[in-house]
Amino acid sequence: MARRDPDAFAEATLALVFIAGSTREAQSAETQLTTGGIDYCLQSEAFMQGLLSSTRTGVGFYVLQTHASVARRVLEKTNLRSGLIELDPGEESEDDAAR
């Protein structure tokens, strides 16, 4: 499992789980998701950073929505918390899905 072209996900619903603001963060996230056996695709994403809230462009990591919770846990365990995206609008948490 590894990085895939967005077209490889066809009609599947994807969830944004992480935005890397630096090359180091992107490389680390790629390593962790690949090692964790999670397929993902990349797209550029705007994000706000700093005290003056300047807009920057980073790398957005998308996974199948059904794998989003696992992907977030994998990234969080390796201290990639600053770019972690908790939930996409309309996405259910594991707790909500279990009810």
Q: What are the extents of the domains in the chain?
A: 6-87
Task: Report residues of the chain scoring pLDDT below 70.
Answer: 1, 50-51, 88-99
Where do the DSSP E strands lie in the chain? 14-20, 41-49, 54-64
Q: What is the DSSP string of 8-34?
A: GGTT--EEEEEEESSHHHHHHHHHHHH
| Residue 39 exposure: Cα atoms within 13 Å on the Cβ side | 12
Measured between alpha carbons, how far is 71 from 50 in angstroms, rounded to an integer?
26
What is the DSSP secondary structure assignment for residue 6, as one 8-state letter? Answer: G
Q: What is the pLDDT of residue 96?
A: 46
Q: What is the pLDDT of residue 47?
A: 85
55 beta partners: 48
Instruction: Residues 6-87: name the CATH superfamily.
Output: UreE, C-terminal domain (3.30.70.790)
* DSSP3 helix / strand / coil % (the chain, rounded to 5): 35, 30, 35
